Amino acid sequence: MRIRNTLIIILIASLTVNCASVNRLKEKPIGLINNVSYIDTKFNNPNASNGFLVQHNNKEYAITAKHVLMISKTDNMKFVDFEGELEEWKMHPKNDSSSYVLTDKLLNTNKKDSLTWSYMDTNWDTYNDWLVFSIKKNTTNHKPLKFRKKPLKKDEPLYVVGWSYADTIGKQRFYEYTFLNTEGDYHNLVQVKGPESLGGLSGSPIIDKRGYVVGLVTSGGEDEETKNIMLQATSLDNAFQFISKLH
């Protein structure tokens, strides 16, 4: 009986610590939206989904989903390259552009990556749905995330931080998911507590309970068999390898 009581006390203490850790994460400034401006202002998109900061080898980078370019490009942009037409790419908390991250260079330009939905669909297994920017200026109080290196465990709780298009006001949202499995470069997540509409969550970071980033939101919807709301998250393993080679 004494052993059982001890185990119960340990379990309660563990749950309390985990809840406190998650609550601290909710208050940590993480979420940013993309505010994209072009020389030709008719192509501007001030709410181009989400982004976030990461750190590797004491250097900071800004990351978002590559497919965000499909909704934030000029007519002349056919591939993952701004063709000299970008005025600036900022990231800032939604509804607060007074503090911002001003990106510098897009580091993974690619003249073979077509900016079309059909190309993304055809090359889904090798698409690498991420953009990595160097940073010119950061006036926010956002701390960069660190990459998680340990594999995910089934049913592990994960959190999406950012805003859907429907989340028009207020602080960053903190949506809850559990890890189901990994298929290729994508993590499949089951929604526990999420937005009514997933639209606009693209590029949001997915973090574990310790605040390490494990992926970013690429797509989502209802599973036809289980009726669960699912997210497909691009693993950032390849982004980590890419950034590691920059040094």
Angle at 116 between CA 113 and CA 122, to 5 degrees: 75
The partner residues of 106 in beta bridges, in order of sequence, read 133
pLDDT confidence bin for 119, thresholds 50/70/90: very high
Identity at 124, one-letter amino acid code: W
Work out the average pLDDT over 191-219.
94
pLDDT confidence bin for 197, thresholds 50/70/90: confident
Q: Are 77 and 131 in contact (CB under 8 A)?
A: no
Work out the average pLDDT over 152-179.
93
For the chain, give every domain's residue range. Answer: 32-143, 147-239
| 74: exposed, middle or buried (Cβ count in 10 Å: 0-12, 13-18, 19+) | middle
CA dihedral 78, 79, 80, 85 (to 10 degrees): -40
**Mean of per-residue pLDDT scores for the chain:** 91
Best CATH choice for the domain 32-143 from the list 2.60.40, 2.40.10, 3.40.1620, 3.30.200: 2.40.10
Q: In this predicted structure, what is the pLDDT of residue 92?
A: 97
Helix or strand (DSSP H, E) at 23: helix 2-27
What 8-state DSSP symbol labels residue 45? B
Q: In this predicted structure, what is the pLDDT of residue 214?
A: 97
Residue 51 pLDDT > 80: yes
32-143 and 147-239 have identical folds: yes
CA distance 47 to 23: 27
Q: In this predicted structure, what is the pLDDT of residue 5?
A: 56
pLDDT higher at 160 or 11? 160
Q: In this prediction, what percent of the chain has a pLDDT beyond 90? A: 79
Q: Tell me, which fold does domain 147-239 have in CATH?
A: Thrombin, subunit H (2.40.10)
Separation in Å, CA 162 to CA 126, 199, 200:
25, 12, 9
